[in-house]
Amino acid sequence: MELKQLEYFVAAADELNFTRAARRQHVVQSAISTSVRQLEAELGAALFERTTRRMRLTPAGAELLDRARAILGLVDEARAAASPSRELRGAVSLGVIQGAWTGMGQSIRAMRAAHPLVALRLRQAPVATILDDVDRGRLDLGVVPLPPDARPGRSHGLHREPMMLVTAEDDEIEGPVRIADLDGRDFVDVAPEWALRRVVDDAFAAAGAQRTTTCEVNDLGVAAELVASGLGLMIVPERMVEGRPGLRRIALVDAPEWRIGVVTGPRVTAAARALLETITGGTGAPGA
């Protein structure tokens, strides 16, 4: 069993598609499929179930995946420790949620400039998916809203701010207001699986108030447009609607706090550590 076989297997397991795995590894598709077949023959077990419609891991493949990630992570750490002056290589994967992190482009650009030989893979997904993938090693890092009980040592504060009420320009509400003052008002909300929605729901429950969700969307740009059209109010971090026309921003006396941070998996590779330090400004400090 060779390290390259494990690298190709992990890529195939992440992508569940040999063509995409080959593109990620910068090789031809046949190199991935041949390597996987050789690995299956060596282990005496099928690692993938393949049909004309889809490809998925077998129980043996899922078992190997956890160990393959751990092995490759240890190899990265050994290389970094043995040759501290050696240019960093490898791959790192990052999960983000929509609208959470305005510094994403700058951080990725800085990472690529500092470590051009590290392949960086970015994926947008819901919070629950990101947290699960980080825990299982499918993602190295995730930028997500941090809960009050964020895991010590594996969560690193990035940004915090009070959320605010957003209305159409011609709405007559004058601020600052309390959430209880918004009882019975129409709201434009994001879908229930969004962390942002859960924060707003919890704030209304704590205030003993209720709102009417007239529009439920999965895109912040669409939500802002609906609010600007007078179809409802919205509670969001200001940076999520920054620069959008037709909106008023009103302070909330009992504003819920929006905390964004980076979560890491049980094992942090040298490449993941470099990206974490780039995102957090070199501190990588836990908490927020």
Residue with tokens 């740009």: 221
Q: Is residue 100 part of a domain?
A: no
Do 164 and 253 have their domain in common?
yes
Instruction: For residue 270, tell me if it sits in a domain.
Output: no
- Rounded to two decimals, the pTM is 0.67
Angle of the 18-25 helix axis to the 29-43 helix axis, nearest 10: 110
CATH of the domain at 168: 3.40.190.290
Does residue 25 belong to any structural domain of this protein?
yes
In a domain? residue 76: yes
pLDDT score, position 203: 95
Range of the domain at 25: 1-84
Residues linked to residue 155 through DSSP beta bridges, in sequence order: 263
The answer to whether residue 11 sits within a structural domain is yes
Number of domains in the chain: 2
Average pLDDT per consecutive 10 residues, the chain (288 residues; last block may be shorter):
88 87 88 92 90 86 85 77 69 84 83 90 88 85 80 77 93 91 95 89 95 93 94 91 90 92 85 90 50
- 36: domain CATH number is 1.10.10.10
Q: Which residues of 232-268 are buried (b: 16+ CB within 10 A; e: fewer)?
A: bbbbbbebbbeeeeebbebebeebbebbbbbbbbeeb
Assigned domain for 234 exists: yes
> How far are the Cα atoms of 3, 60, 116, 278 from residue 113, in angstroms, in the given order?
27, 39, 6, 11
Is residue 255 assigned to a domain?
yes
- Give the Cα separation of 279 and 264 in Å (integer): 12
pLDDT (tens digit per residue) in 225-257: 999 999 999 999 988 888 888 999 999 999 999
Using the 3D structure, point to which of 25, 49, 84 is the last residue of a domain: 84
Structure tokens at 75: 């190899």
Determine the pLDDT at residue 287.
Answer: 44
Q: How many CB atoms lie within 10 A of CB 283?
A: 10
- Residue 197 domain flag: yes
